[in-house]
Amino acid sequence: MGERFAGSQAATRAVRAACAVAPPAAALAHIGPAASWLPGPRRRWLPGLAGRGSPCHVALTFDDGPDPVSTPRFLDALDALGVRATFFVLGENVVRHPAQAREVVARGHELAVHGWTHDRPWLPAPARDARALARAAEVVADVSGRWPYWYRPPYGILTSGRWAAARRTGLRPVLWTAWGRDWTREATAASVRATVAADLRGGGTVLLHDAGHASAPGSRRAALGALPGIVADCRTARLTVGPLAEHGVAGAPPSRP
């Protein structure tokens, strides 16, 4: 309920902001696709965008990195659990911390694109969106040795311009089916685990954060502390955990080396 309410509030603010500087029709055409952020419609009508995959598998994903302090702790925790994941990285962070991005790949994880910066695209800027997304994909390809496949925009806001930019860049948008609300000041390991568990199903995609661009200070500790319990919950339910590359999302390649 809270997620749906917050999503509708965000969509309303987006339309108002866009309408302030653009004709209403153009503003709605720009921001309308962002309604896919709402979890109910997305899960029901856009399962591929929601990250629905094999019913025996859960995709584990992280946003906002790489970060030279927090990301290595997540990599160590994932090694200890014997789990691989997909890391949606920001282009500007990859440029600042290329060694850390390479370490993500060296540890067997998948790199995907989260954008160049962690911004909210309320105003139409298709040319800027196209340049920024292509630039982010290029720096990810430079450090990983292969062109990325997945794209998740900051805040899950998919405008028409970002949809078009993703298509031109050869990226597939994917959001999530469960998240931990691990960016909040009140987040704890227990709360993150419980929030994920509430929506955890076979075939789902879990969203957590290994770095904190739009997060309360120290909130990454909550996600890190929740990881063992989340993986244990999946294994108790006889679900394997891994990256999106192994998730079997409809229309995606069966696997990527």
Write phi, then psi, for 136 (nearest 5 degrees): -65, -45
User: Cβ(194)–Cβ(167) under 8 Å?
Assistant: no
> What's the burial of 72, exposed, middle or buried (CB within 10 Å: 0-12/13-18/19+)?
middle
Burial status of residue 220 (CB atoms within 10 A of its CB: 0-12, 13-18, 19 or more): buried
| Interatomic CA distance for residues 67 and 106, integer angstroms | 16
Q: What amino acid occupies position 196?
A: V
CA distance 30 to 15: 9
Crossing angle between the packed helical segments 2-21 and 24-31, to the nearest 10 degrees: 140
State the catalytic residue, choosing from 30, 57, 209, 247. Answer: 209
Q: Which tokens is 158 given? A: 């998919």
The residue annotated as part of the active site, out of 57, 63, 114, 182, is 63
Identify whether the C-beta of residue 152 lies closer than 8 Å to the C-beta of residue 112. Answer: yes
Task: Tell me if residue 63 is catalytic.
Answer: yes
Angle at the Cα of 121 (from 180 to 112), degrees rounded to 5? 55
| Rounded-to-integer distance, Cα 196 and Cα 26, Å | 36
76 is catalytic: no
Sequence letter at residue 21: V
Where in the sequence numbering do the catalytic residues fall? 63, 209
